[in-house]
Structure 1
Amino acid sequence: MRRRALLAAPLLAAPGLARAQEAFPNRPLRLVIPFTPAGTTDLTGRLAAEHLARRLGQPVVVENRAGAGGNVGAEFVARSEPDGYTLLLTTIGTGAINFAVYGERMPYKPQDLAAVGLLIRVPNVLMVPPDLPVRNIAELVALAKSRPGGLNYGTAGIGSSPHVCMALFGLMTGAPMTHVAYRGSAPMLTELMAGRVEAGMDNIPSALTFIRDGKLRALATTGAKRSAVLPDVPTLDEAGVTGFEATAWFGVLAPAGTPRPVLAKLGAATDATARDPDFRARMAGFGAELPALTPDGGSSPESFEAFLAAERTKWIDVARRSGAKVE
């Protein structure tokens, strides 16, 4: 009798588990943003949390857990209960680049997190001070090659999306350029406007006001097409760096082991958020683009998982070839 009861236990538990998943969510969720408040990541996460709450019928509480290029917050989610109630607002860093530049020092593995969906992509922009005697990418590359030691360029930090984008730019053009890492976008942009570094790359939202005010000259953006907020600025591909495409991006991940039905519900809510007219309008204001991972322009857990794998492969190769890494 005892043996039969033990064998029956999983069968009895299965309907209860199914009902729990059907009822998901029945309490508030938590969205961990792995960076400090303010900035593009925080803005995206907080707006996404509002929209996810409406679609899931439960509050989505934002929690900032910053440190180690986003690894602190990402590891926290990776170690959380895989029930769908703790989620990560992932960036290109925590989802792909950090595996390239931190190497064996990474505190979690790709398989520790499950894909939910992609929210937006945000191109970067390559800029110079107005008094630098270059007006296009060809002239920048020529100037770098003409100077002993090349040019210096600034970014928001080692391992950031702009850093690895510039590493890829150097590989594709052969332009000798030395990285100067700052602690965030604000100090880098300040130094760039003052001419203390000769070039810089950053997410479009951080630099847009300075470009529009004429304090910085935008040479090219990094997306597959021109940015709607910088329509007169060519892409790097258009500017002669054929095949160049790289964008920062933001999406949602959950702990590995989260039940597939729960991931499906979260994925549908994330996809609906990315398509929402209000969300799109507010994100488009600083150059964000739709996910476009599925044929109809959205995303799904499966398409986001494939995207993550491709991004990790791409940036691990760039880091290996360029030597970009966090010491």
Structure 2
Amino acid sequence: MVFASDNRDDRERASREATEWFVRLNNPLASDETRRAYRAWLKADPAHHDAMVDISELWGALDRPAARLAAAGWHRSAVASPRRGPLKLGLRFAAAAVIAMVLTGGGAIWRDPGMIDRAFADVATQPGERREVRLADGSLVMLDGGTALKTDMVGGVRAITMLRGRVWFEVVADRQRPFTVHAGRVDVLVHGTAFEVDREAGAVTVEHGKVAVSDAEATRGPVNLTNWQRVSLKDGALGAPEAVDPEQVFAWRRGLIVLDRAPLSRVVKELDNMAAGRVLIIDPELRRMTLSGTFRADDPGAVLEALRSTLGVRTLSVPGFATLIYR
């Protein structure tokens, strides 16, 4: 069964990717390889074409205010780099586009795609916020930043639907009423245990107890997990259980982010949880780079500084709106 939230995730993913392609293709140094990769992405899914049309139409409406912002010269001091030439001009264009989007009603959704989910949630957190909530059955949940949940605790039902984000659950044992979590394709069934569900990663990690994890789009039986085990969607299917380091996996509950050779895609996800605004990687080759370190969850600037100092990348931030990561 495909839920409306799954379709919304697909649309948001297509919109995010289309935005990144739009910025890259408007870089004056965009290579033929980049354009070929774009054409392959465009052909991969009809939704990609629709998303690109939407972004292009949005830019058409925003072209004039972006030009005014670029002409104002704000960006000349925003990029802390002595480099000159087409690449810097492309980044100015991208930054101006980000600012222009913010000046419109649509820009609010662009920079904060979780806004709609939070509006329909029973419990939610803003990016950068962590929150503990006691459910009607006595179970405790801790929400990471940018998380949204719907709850159903009526009668014999104990069900949670995760619209987005990451949650740690400590479930009160009740053999008569199983506790279920629906997180996109991932379904979790428990009676009483402590575990974490990361909706965007399609991952479930058990602290103690036992849970059964199923793929809503597959016919195979559930994957059973116990203490310090994790399972996640890989290549379109649930993988095998893996042992995890609890100090690393659950560090966010203590206000820390622990990265161990984490790819930049993971780093971007953590940054999205830490503060408001989109994080975009302009060069797709950067996604293969990795970062290690321990950071405070309320200090995204330290993560960006680590990216600059250890990986040699550059960043351009419009606080609260967007951050561009580029070479």
TM-score greater than 0.5 by the shorter chain: no
Relative to the length of structure 2, the TM-score reads 0.22
Relative to the length of structure 1, the TM-score reads 0.22
Higher relative contact order (CA 8 A, sep 6+): 1
Q: Point out the structure with the larger strand share.
A: 2
